[in-house]
Chains A and B, each alone.
Chain A
Amino acid sequence: MGAEASFREEDFFGREDELSALTRAALEGSRGIGSSFMIYGPPNIGKTSLLLKLAKQLVATAGTDGLPRPFPLYFSFSQILSHPLALSQHFLQEFLSQLLRFLGDAHPSTFDPASMCDRLASFGITGCREVLAAHERCTAEGDGLSALVNALSFPFSSSGELFYPVFLFDDFQYTGKLQGVPEGAMLSILRPYIKSGHFPMFISGSSPGRVTAALKREGLFGTFQMIEVGGLSTDSSVRLWRYLCERRRVDIPASLLPRASERLGGIPAYQRMLVEEIFFRSAKVPDAVTLENLYAVSVTEGKLNRYWREFFENTFPDRARRGRAIRFLKRVLCDRFPLDTVEGAISLMGSSQEEGEAILSALEFKGLLKADLDHLTFVGDPVLADFLYWAFERGVLGKGTSQVTAAIVQARLSRTAPEPGQGGDHARRVAIVKELMRKWDLREVPLLLLDFGMFREKFGGKGLLEIVIGMEREAVRVRLPKVSSVSTGYRASRGGPRFDFDLVAYGFLEGDFSEENLVIWAVDVAVEKNLGPRAVEHFENRCRLLALEKGLPQDRLRKWMILNETADAATVELASRYGIHLSHPTQLRLFLNLFGLEELERDPEPARSPGSEVPRSGKTLEYELVLPIKADSEVVAARVAEEVAAFAAVDADTVDRIKMAIIEACINAFEHSASESGKVRLRYLLSPDKIELFVQDDGKGFRPGKTPEESKKNRGWGLKLIRELVDDVEIVTGPDGTTVHMVKNLGGDPADPGPVRQGAGGLGSPEEH
């Protein structure tokens, strides 16, 4: 749409087969055996470029044997003008000026039809004045249909020895929307010419359903051959990449180009947009992660995003309807909701029949879906899918753009799950490391425990006892953080893949739990016997993304890989270059020994907290947090709850409820527990259908009497609010302290979390808890 103005022939790559078929058909028009084509495909795929390239090729073919030459007339219906009079006028002007150019006039006086007529007469083409006069007459009478017949027939009546017209009609679906003219009128007018075989026509549009239906009604369907335009082949797409990058002086290794092509579905327009984006942002793409980042930035806030945002704004000017359409498409294209019927689509949209049909019809018109009878097929466009993901996450779930960007990048880089059969041992080793990290508590240990290269150099081939003694003398030591929470299986069960580390620990460099002291340790426990450079690269990439998402400075993300058996020198070197700590099983044993954990071989998680009976299905994620009893530290608990909920794609309102509930539970624990340790322990269990929160203190439980705080008037809302905010609350007081167990179900309709129940009490009269 409007793309013809910006078409650059030198940008055109590939599509050799289509071009040769179309060119042959056009040339066969001279002998009356030319066939017509219907070219279709999703928006932006390059249909217009294909037509324009064909036009250039046809102009370049010299006429032979004294036969008339094909005159390609490119005309796009998108920029009109739904009134047939205006359309006719525009068509005549285009025809005259393009024909004059074809005949050799460099600059025809485009806006003066009369003088163009005179020029044409000098080439021996007559009848132009009469056609213009007829157009005037129709205009005066307001007869749009006659004006169309008059204008569309002229190219054929004026053809002869010199040329024959080949129509290249773009965005043809718009002809179904002309005012006061029956749908299919255009085809009725053109029908005899199409049938003749002398005037091959190429009709292009993103909405084949409508056009083919019109062709069928006119009995023309069999006359047309169909060509579906898809993405470029990898080879052509790579050639286009090379060309674009060279022109924009974008520095990108050739090895990345096939990946980049696949990323964009081989769609040339996207390639152009992304190259421009890269050019403006950095002009350098050293590796795949940078490429994925630049792509994700473009699709969430840059050119690719703008393209689709405008597309949806134009297609659905009404905001609510746009939202509904985006949500619907997101379900189909991103979540791959299996759907192929109109009824199914409307019920998935959850809208009225009328609105659902209007949305489907608009999507069909714009080429995002094909409707064949009642069978729906949706476009497979990776960039559109990522855009929809962005729109959904941001618009519906209210996430920040950088969060979404990171998730998109991660989705592309996430690795596959470990091989079955290795899980058991792996899970046990992960659990051991988790237990170890929990005990760190600001202690200092020899740096050698975390540096496999140095360790091997110093102790390679030596006995364990010798090593232990040697270690004690180690002067270079490193201070470990105080770890406040360690999460296992950092992988989402819903809402797309995330940073799948084996462990992610949140710690603090000093005893004070403040933002300035925060440090995150990302840990992978190797599955493969011999760690290779690829695994290290992959780990490093994920770490960079984690740092990006969390906005962490370099030194606040620590990277640690634990070997299964060994690693070769090159891998060790690579890890050290990336600043990744590497530990051999022997080092790990020494490490555990330092913290009195070497015997830990059984279930490393003794069942000591309430709720441990929750089945550990593969889909449950568990997080823990230890909070100091300190003003406002409940905000940290709320923030963690928000992060946890983000894994389940929970709607913003439910997240608010969960946050509020956990804040109240923490405040209660702070106020009532009289805890001895000065700490409150939290657990978050996320499963597909619910989130469970445990807030445990080691104090004496909720005392029935009034605390000084509570005796303040108007207080005591806490538990009442919790009951309103979550679906289930249970308070268990035992010898070890009190636990508030809260359950919020996630299964409901995310669009309607349901209002909080109306309280019966009057102002300032809460129920006792």
Chain B
Amino acid sequence: MTPYKTIHIREEGDTLVVSVGGYLNSLLGEEVEKVVSANLDIGGRRILLNFQGTRLVNSIGISFVIGIVEKVMEREGRMAFCEVSRINRDLFRVTGLAKYVRSFDSEKEALDFLSGNA
């Protein structure tokens, strides 16, 4: 098992907050996809990915994030990212992700956005 996999989930109101830590590779990407899918399946529609603890990302990890975004869009949910480092923000731009999901500096701003306060 990879030592770099860390993921924390909690709920803020009706938003599922997934904190992605360590190295976002295929294993961690898959894990994130799993928890988001499970949430969508039970009717959740608001997803926030917090990348504060993400030290490294690889393209397979990004492809999983893309998959997650597609799923959320399919179910007409709302999604946001927060605390994305500069390099990761650039990578999200290159892959086109940034066009579909808004990134916020802080988790609070993102939660306000998702709950429709902003």
Contacts and interface: CB of A to CB of B under 8 A. Distances in A.
B97 A763 contact: yes
Q: Which of B3, B70, B91 has the most CB of A within 10 A?
A: B91
B93 A632 contact: no
Contact of B94 (A663, A713, A715, A721): A721
Contacts of A631: 2, 27
A486 B95 CA distance: 37
Interface stretch (A341-349, A378-386, A754-762): A754-762
B38 interface: no
Interface string A9-42: 0000000000000000000000000000000000
A715 B85 contact: no
B95 A717 contact: yes
B93 A759 contact: yes
A716 to B, nearest CB: 8
A635 B91 contact: no
Contacts of A755: 90, 93
B2 A660 contact: no
A762 B4 CA distance: 30
B94 A656 contact: no
Contacts of B27: 631
B94 A720 contact: yes
B23 interface: yes
Interface in B55-95: 56-60, 62-64, 66-67, 69-70, 85-87, 90-91, 93-95
B103 interface: no
A667 B59 contact: yes
Contacts of B90: 724, 755-756
Interface string A655-676: 0110110011001000000000
B27 to A, nearest CB: 8
A656 B25 contact: no
Given A656-B85, A713-B67, A764-B70, A664 B59 contact: yes
A712 interface: yes
A759 B95 contact: yes
Q: Which of A660, A667, A755, A762 has the most CB of B within 10 A?
A: A660
Contact of A664 (B58, B64, B69, B99): B58
Contact of B58 (A656, A663, A713, A766): A663
Interface string B19-47: 00001010100000000000000000000
A314 interface: no
Contact of A715 (B3, B23, B60): B60
Contacts of A667: 58-60
Contacts of B96: 759, 761-765
A763 B62 CA distance: 11
A718 interface: yes
Contacts of A656: 85-87
Q: Is the interface of B mostly helix, strand, loop or mixed?
A: helix
Nearest to A714: B63
Contacts of A718: 59
A656 B93 CA distance: 16
Interface in A741-769: 755-759, 761-766
A714 B67 contact: yes
Contacts of B62: 717
Contacts of B66: 714, 763-764
B94 A756 contact: yes
Contacts of A764: 63, 66-67, 70, 96
Contacts of B95: 717, 721, 759, 761, 763, 766
A663 B25 CA distance: 10
A756 B90 CA distance: 6
B96 to A, nearest CB: 5
A483 to B, nearest CB: 23
B23 A660 contact: no
Nearest to A763: B96
Nearest to B23: A635
B94 A724 contact: yes
Given A635-B56, A660-B91, A667-B58, A715 B63 contact: yes
A659 B93 contact: no
A635 B3 CA distance: 11
Interface in B88-118: 90-91, 93-97, 99-100
Given A660-B57, A721-B91, A758-B93, A763 B99 contact: yes
A624 interface: no
A698 interface: no
A638 B56 contact: yes
A624 B14 CA distance: 50
Given A656-B87, A759-B94, A717 B63 contact: yes
10 contacts: A653-B86, A712-B63, A714-B67, A715-B60, A718-B59, A761-B95, A763-B96, A763-B97, A763-B100, A764-B63
Interface of B: 2-4, 23, 25, 27, 56-60, 62-64, 66-67, 69-70, 85-87, 90-91, 93-97, 99-100
Interface of A: 631-632, 634-635, 638, 653, 656-657, 659-660, 663-664, 667, 712-718, 720-721, 724, 755-759, 761-766
Given A634-B58, A667-B59, A763-B70, 18 more contacts: A632-B4, A656-B87, A660-B58, A660-B87, A660-B91, A663-B56, A664-B59, A714-B63, A714-B64, A715-B63, A717-B59, A717-B63, A718-B59, A724-B90, A761-B95, A761-B96, A762-B99, A763-B97
Q: Enumerate the 8 nearest inter-chain pairs by beta-carbon distance, A residue then B residue, closest first.
A: A717-B59, A756-B90, A656-B87, A714-B63, A759-B94, A714-B66, A718-B59, A763-B96
